[in-house]
């Protein structure tokens, strides 16, 4: 399964991403806010 960012670039393990909209996390009472940097995705 391949994942792409908003520009169409394929994401790979270890890439860093910045959120462009708020995301609710299922099973947790937290929301990841827009602009948050996520480092080293798997």
Task: Give the pLDDT confidence of 1-32 residue by residue, as tens digits.
Answer: 899 998 999 999 999 999 999 999 999 999 99
Strand partners, 32: 23
Q: Which domain covers residue 30, as residue numbers?
A: 1-42
Strand partners, 11: 3
Query: How far apart, in whole angstroms, are the C-alpha atoms of residue 30 and residue 35?
Result: 15
Handedness of CA 17, 34, 2, 29 (dihedral sign): positive
Structure confidence at residue 42 (pLDDT): 84
Structure confidence at residue 1 (pLDDT): 86
Structure confidence at residue 40 (pLDDT): 94
Structure confidence at residue 37 (pLDDT): 95
pLDDT, mean over the chain: 93
Query: How far apart, in whole angstroms, are the C-alpha atoms of residue 25 and residue 22?
Result: 10
Number of domains in the chain: 1
């Amino acid at each position: 399964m391949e994942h792409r960012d908003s520009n169409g670039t394929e994401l790979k393990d270890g890439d860093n991403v910045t959120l462009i909209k708020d995301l609710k996390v299922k099973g947790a009472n937290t929301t990841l806010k827009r602009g948050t940097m996520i480092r080293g995705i798997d």
